[in-house]
Amino acid sequence: MLTPAIAAGMLMMGAQAGTDGAAAAVPPPMAAPDAPAAAQAPPEGAPQVLVVPPPPVMPNLPGADAPAAAAPQPGEIVVTGHTRPPPGDPLERLNEKSFEAVQSVDKAVVEPVAKAYNKGLPKPARKGLRNFFSNLQEPVVFLAYMLQFKPGKAMETAGRFTINTTLGVAGLFDVAKRKPFFLPYRPNGLANVLGYYGVGPGPYMYLPIVGPTTLRDIIGDTVDKLIVPFAVGKPFNEPKYVIPATILNQLGQRAAFDETIQQIRSEENPYAYYRELYLKQRKAEIEALHGRAVEEPVTPVYGPGLGKALPPEPTPTP
């Protein structure tokens, strides 16, 4: 029988041998080059720490279920993306709010009045009022064609204005578009002059009362509306004419636009759809000034042909 001292010594020697074997089988982790010597080599007899690496990430095999995404925990910061506005509509959010506000007022007030206007006023009378306001803009159309160096179109516009003002009873009847004259109405203005010479539309805007427009168009239309009052004077510059004339003109356009605006409201994104119709019409009008054909039908959202789809113009023959 071994004495207690000899047995304890043999046990200590066996433990040391087992430890040395484990250390030889598993090499210690490599220390950083700039670590101190004491950290790189643990003192003799100190217990060894075995660092177990994490299991390798196995790729998803075909047919295997993908791991479910972890739900965000309380207090965890989640970064989400945000869609930028279209390049031509940097004020999209503000414009959408304006569009929604205008549509709310239109549904509550303007639409019922426009429907009463359609029912209470005969169609020839409504058409006569639209002809009257269009005829008042013919001097602006004439000036725009002159600025575009299109004297032939300018002379046709002057002849149309003279015929409708005299034979058409101050423009209430569009006599000039019928035979033997065949002089159709052609909208034009300062905004078209700017577009004709390469000025871009600028940012799109949806404004109360004005509706859809662009920076170029709002500048051009404002100048157009000031030409006749300043050039002619009374009564076109007096509030007793300007206010009722503006109301009647806007109401007539809204009444003629009723079917199209109902279609716009039925779209998934009414604001974007309305914007697309307006910009497409403006582009087609600028293209027509250059004699270039329109590739697809255009649904006018303003002007005499309001709300009626127009077929593509034929390609000009060389």
Question: Where do we find the tokens 């295997």?
Answer: 64
In tens, the pLDDT along 152-207 reads 999 999 999 999 999 999 999 999 999 999 999 998 999 999 999 999 999 999 99
What's the confidence (pLDDT) of residue 6?
42
Report yes or no: 301 and 212 within 8 Å, Cβ to Cβ: yes
The Cβ-side half-sphere exposure at 30, using a 13 Å CA radius, reads 3
Report yes or no: 203 and 90 within 8 Å, Cβ to Cβ: yes
Distance CA(143)–CA(113), nearest Å, equals 35
For the chain, give every domain's residue range. Answer: 86-117+188-303, 120-175
Compute the radius of gyration of the chain from its Cα atoms: 40
* End-to-end Cα separation, the chain, in angstroms: 123
Query: Reduced to 3 states, what is the DSSP secondary structure of residue 206?
Result: strand
> Which of 47, 42, 20 shows the shortest CA–CA distance to 31?
42
What's the confidence (pLDDT) of residue 308?
56
Report yes or no: 74 and 249 within 8 Å, Cβ to Cβ: no
Q: Name the band, by pLDDT with cuts 50, 70 and 90, for residue 297.
A: confident
